[in-house]
Every structure is written in structure tokens, then in C-alpha cells.
Structure 1
Amino acid sequence: MQKFILSTAVLALTAGAGLADTVRMGTEGQYPPYNFIDDNGEVAGFEREVGDKLCELAELECEWVTNEWDSIIPNLVAGNYDTIIAGMSITEEREEVIDFTQDYYPPTGSIYLAMDDGVDLEGGVVAAQAATIQASYVAETGATLLEFATPDETIAAVMNGEADAVFADKDFLLPYADEGELMVVGEEIPLGSGIGMGLRESDTELKEKFNAAIDEMKADGSLNTLLDKYFGEGTGTY
């Protein structure tokens, strides 16, 4: 799950407004299995299925839009879409600017991947996606932080020798380890407080509708079913 650290200050909208006819669901589309673009050019993945079900339960008409990660919060605040559903961890810093629903994915950890297990994680060069709490964590370890705009670029940096390791959410990185060219090194690091939907602070009615829908998915087991489907049996613990 992606962990975004605000790189610039943005002003939250203060004026309240009623629900729009169509709720625009903003995502990145580059972070499988959370969200990605399929062969038909459509948003797909865990969050597409969760989001569609939440809209159905909340009786909302929804459409999906994509936005680059580093501007995903400013463009929510600016009104370019109505929610963020993009593997975004709930953090105190983000809550200074936007609001969150309850979590729809429990807290998880981040890991390092490298070409070999002898890398220096605290003194070497570590790649991370820009504006994430993984990047912030790496900067505090003493390692040289190498930031990239997209998660795929962080993988490429390790593969081409530009970085010694990459640090990101384990659910994103583990498939690369399974392919055999990269390996998990070091320990799993717990970061974040679970993943929720981001909303403008003024959209209290929309937050209530989605919170009620998340409650329903947790109660009927459908959220656990999707968690197990995308992240492995036993992931769903609600």
C-alpha cells in the first residue's frame, strides 16, 4: 500500500457542498495489485472491485479517473475528482489536509528488494517512489535516497545498478521477488495505519455513505473475499 507524504502545502476547501450526480473515483493506475490499467485501458485491480461495490452499496453513480501520484491530493482538493482510492495509507500528516474513511485494508508492512543479500541498507543507495512515507523512512535511515515518479522506475533503478535496493509496500514488491531476479533483504517494516479512501474535508455526507458501505462489506465478508483474492488467503482479517 502506497504511503504518501505531502511534498507541498495545499489549502483544503472549506465550503460544503451536496453530493454530485456522479462521484469521480480518483486512482493512480500504476500500483498493482491495488490499481492498474488493464489491456482494455480500464482501471482494474483490488481497488476497482472494492470501489465499484462500495458505490453500489451506497447507491452512488461513480466513474473512474486516473492521476499521477505526486499530485493526487492537490487535485482532490482542487475538485478534479471526489475521492482518492489508490492504496493511500491513513496518516496524521495527510489528515491535516484531507479526510479519510475508515480503512478498507488493514495495516501492513514495507520491504526492501535487492539483487543480492549483502547490500548496505543504511549506507547504500535505496530507491523509493517520490512523495511516499517509504521515501521519508529511507531518508531517516542514513541511506542515500533515490526518488522516482513511478513505482516501476524504482524497480528499474535496482535492475540497472543505479540503486542498491528498493523500498516499497510489500504487496507491490513481492511479485518481483517471486520472479527470481530480486530478493527480499532485511526485515519487514510496519508503516501506516491502514488504507482508506481520501475525501475533501467538506464532503462529510459522502464520507458517511462510504463508511456505511465499508461497514457492510466488512460485515458480510465480501471485503475479506477480495483481500484474499488479490493479496493471498488469510489477508482478509475483518
Structure 2
Amino acid sequence: MKKLLLATALTALSLGAAAAETIRIGTEGAYEPFNFINDAGELAGFEIILGTELCKRAGLDCVFVKNDWDSIIPNLQSSNYDAIMAGMSITPERLELINFSENYTQPTPSAYAAMSPDTPLTEGVVSAQVGTIQAAYVAASGAQLLEFATPDESVAAVRNGQAQAVMADKDYVLSVVGDGLEIVGEDVLLGGGIGIGLRKSDTELKAKFDKAIQEMKADGSLNTLITEWFGEEGIHF
């Protein structure tokens, strides 16, 4: 009888392990400090640390996978991964395509950077990463929008004279200013904060991530991470 019970228990454990599903989280790996490739060639950044903790709290087995920004939503919809953590702001336009978890950052400022403080921002050529809320803002501002696949390319366009200014999340802009490139103009508040992108059908997964985010807000650990990655000036909950 004991052998039978032991065999039954082992079979149940084996089936449970086989049924366990790995949650794949897509990220860009090119938007410091949110997500980037470190010197060891590994994904790193605020969202990698945060996502690992959220998965732990939610009881999920998660892995991060790198994906280019311009195809990051289509690949979620095609089930090439199950979630997105890539500095993606919650906007009405994106909510038509996918769902979002509760936000894990407050709406944060976007900023312009240019090689001269007198650079006009609502005329001329302004670069931004394709498919971002900053690109949409520039397009509506009166300036000529020049889009690039990566944020680094949009900054390089200013340094090499293709564009007069670049617009991006201020946290990213702060990481690239210097050598003549400086923040210009006023900050612009865009979006509803950053959240985890999810397929609309994955309501159970959304509920698990929402609960974990709410726990981290309540116990202060999310604010601790924000301070670690964005400094005391980071916008806290």
C-alpha cells in the first residue's frame, strides 16, 4: 500500500511538473535604464529586476526574451511570448490592440535633447523611436518626424545632423546627454504610466501580475526599486 501511495504521489508530481508553463516576457534590451544588454551580454535593467520579483510573487516561472521594438506587439499577439515589459506606456491606441497590467511606473516626463539650447522644437526635423508615444507627439506638434527602429539611432540622428532634436522618455534622455547633447525645452507628460502588455484573452495572467504589482506598491518595495534605478528624483507611488 505504501509503495502504491508513493507511486501515485510521484505520478502526480510528475504530471504537475509537466503541466507547469513557462511565461515568456518580451523586452527590447535597448532602453536603459528600463531594459538593456549589460557588459556580460545579458538582459538587465529596472524591468528585468522588477519582472523577476513580480513572477516570484505571482508563483510564475518566467524567462525574458529579446525582441525588436517595432514588432514587439505583433509577436505578443502571435503568442511568441506571453507578456511585454519594455518601457511601454499605457495609451488608448495600444489598449485597442492589447491589454495592460496595473501600471508599475507613474506617468513620467518625456523630454527633448538637442545640440543647442535654442533649437526650435515645433518645426524642423525631430527624431524619435518608431511606434512610441513620443513619435506620435512629435508628429502632431508641427515638426517633421524622423523615426528610427531604436532609441540609440534616434539620438545618433541628432549628433550626425539628420535631425535637430530627439524626443524620448526623460529617464532615457538623461542617460545619453553629454558631449554637446543637452536637454532643451519643457518636460512633456505623456501616457498613463508603464505596464505589462498582455493579450486581451489572458485575464488570469493579468490578475496575477496586478496582484503582485499592488503588493509591491503597498509594501514599498516598488518605490525602493524606482529609487535604485532612477534616483531620489524618480516619481514614486
Shorter-chain TM-score above 0.5:
yes
**Alignment partners' CA distance in 2, 1:56 and 1:112:** 37
Q: Summarize deviations over 1:101-136 as a string: whole Å, max 9, x none.
A: 000011011111000111111111101111111111
CA distance in 1 between counterparts of 2:85 and 2:187 reads 24
Q: Which has the higher contact order (CA 8 A, sep 6+)?
A: 1
Aligned to 2:16: none
CA distance in 1, matches of 2:233, 2:153: 30
- Specify the alignment match of 1:194 in structure 2: 193
Q: Residue in 1 aligned with 2:23?
A: 23
CA deviation map 1:83-103 (0-9, x unaligned): 000000111111111111000
Secondary structure of the corresponding residue to residue 180 of structure 2 = coil
Q: Report the 3-state secondary structure (helix = DSSP H, G, I; strand = E; otherwise coil) of the residue aligned with 1:119.
A: coil
> Structure 1 stretches (4+) deviating beyond 4 angstroms?
none
* Other structure's SS at 1:104 match: coil
**What is the aligned partner in structure 1 of residue 60 from structure 2?**
60
Q: Deviations over 1:25-46 (max 9, x none)?
A: 1100000000001122211000
State whether structure 2 residue 37 is matched by structure 1 residue 37: yes
Q: 1:60-100 CA deviation, whole Å, 9 max, x = no partner? A: 10111011101100100100000000000111111111111
- Conserved in 2, the CA contact under 8 Å of 1:127 and 1:147? yes
What secondary structure is seen at the aligned counterpart in 1 of 2:196? strand
Counterpart mapping for 1:186-225 below 5 A: 186-225=185-224
SS at match of 2:225: helix
Which whole-Å CA distance do the structure 2 matches of 1:205 and 1:87 have between them? Answer: 22
Say if 2:108 and 2:235, in contact at 8 Å, map to a contact too. Answer: no
Structure 2 gaps, min length 5: 1-18
| Contact map agreement 2:103 2:195 (CA 8 A) in 1 | yes
TM-score by length of 2: 0.90
What whole-Å deviation, never above 9, does each CA across 1:146-166 have from its counterpart, x for those lacking one?
111100001111111111000
CA offsets per residue over residues 183-234 of structure 1, 9 Å max, x none? 1111111100000000001111101111110011111111001101111114
Q: Distance in 1 between matches of 2:235 and 2:124?
A: 35
Return 33-42 or 52-61, whichever deviates more.
Answer: 33-42
| 1:1-238 matched pairs, under 5 angstroms | 21-177=21-177, 179-238=178-237
- Calculate percent identity across the aligned residue pairs: 59
Count of residues in correspondence between the two structures: 219
Moved more, 45-54 or 125-134: 125-134
Higher helix share: 2
User: Residue 23 of structure 2 contacts residue 61 of structure 2 at CA under 8 Å; is this kept in 1?
Assistant: yes
- Equivalent-residue separation in structure 2 for 1:154 and 1:236 (angstroms): 25
CA positional deviation for 1:180: 4.3
SS in 2 for 1:26: strand
CA distance in 1, matches of 2:207, 2:31: 27
In the aligned structure 1, how far is the partner of 2:151 from the partner of 2:228?
22
- Distance across 2 between alignment mates of 1:92 and 1:111: 21
Partner of 2:90: helix, strand, or coil?
coil
Q: Are 2:32 and 2:175, in contact at CA under 8 Å, matched by a contact in 1?
A: no
Name structure 1 gaps, 5 residues minimum: 1-18
Q: CA RMSD in A?
A: 1.2
